[in-house]
């Protein structure tokens, strides 16, 4: 009888940003897919598949800053369902560059008020992830450093007893 390989349950989520860390993540799959598919269950990764599940996750990688109440609600749901949350990239870690409008003066805010802030129901300020939920780890950089991502994935695989 063969025992089934336990897999790390992972989600990849994106809020307000340019998604360059997502591009890096998918580029890394060129070299790591064969290895990762045996060890990682990508429960939620819209860049990889259309059927995604947000259920119990070991690790949620979250890219981008928060611009709306819907983003806040979604991140709180991710927090509730994830053992670890990793903030991916500068926008998630410190808010910038996605939070640039936080520094706008009254004239510039007025210029974007109706066509953007009101139209899309945006918050008055863009938030970094840590302003809303507890973050367990972070991958700074704009975009993230692929080597740091690979190192963290290796650590998570060990921490959750997927590899020794």
Which residues form the interface with ligand SF4 (CB under 6 A)?
A: 17-18, 20-21, 63-64, 89-91, 97-98, 142-143
Does the bond joining 97 to the residue before it have cis omega, within 30 degrees of 0?
Answer: yes
The smaller minimum CB distance to ligand SF4, of residues 98 and 162, is found at 98
User: Least Å distance between CB 80 and ligand SF4?
Assistant: 24
User: Least Å distance between CB 66 and ligand SF4?
Assistant: 13
The smaller minimum CB distance to ligand SF4, of residues 143 and 162, is found at 143
The smaller minimum CB distance to ligand SF4, of residues 15 and 42, is found at 15
The smaller minimum CB distance to ligand SF4, of residues 39 and 96, is found at 96
By C-alpha distance, which of 56, 45, 57, 42 is closest to 21? 45
Rg (CA), the chain: 17
By C-alpha distance, which of 108, 23, 69 is closest to 100? 108
Contacts of 20 (CB under 8 A, 6+ apart): 89, 142, 143
DSSP character at residue 17: S
User: Least Å distance between CB 1 and ligand SF4?
Assistant: 46
User: Least Å distance between CB 11 and ligand SF4?
Assistant: 17
């Amino acid at each position: 009888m063969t025992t089934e390989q336990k897999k790390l349950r992972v989600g990849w989520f994106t809020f307000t940003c340019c998604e360059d860390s997502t591009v890096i993540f998918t580029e890394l799959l060129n070299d790591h897919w064969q290895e990762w598919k045996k060890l990682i269950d990508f429960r939620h990764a819209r860049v990889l598949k259309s059927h995604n599940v947000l259920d119990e996750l070991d690790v949620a990688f979250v890219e981008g800053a928060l611009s709306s109440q819907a983003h806040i609600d979604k991140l709180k749901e991710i927090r509730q369902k994830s053992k670890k949350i990793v903030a991916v990239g500068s926008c998630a870690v410190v808010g910038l560059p996605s939070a640039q409008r936080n520094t706008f003066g009254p004239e510039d805010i007025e210029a974007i008020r109706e066509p953007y802030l009101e139209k899309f129901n945006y918050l008055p300020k863009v938030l970094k992830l840590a302003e809303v939920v507890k973050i367990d780890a972070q991958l700074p950089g704009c975009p993230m450093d692929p080597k740091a991502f690979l190192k963290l994935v290796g650590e998570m695989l060990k921490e959750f007893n997927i590899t020794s």
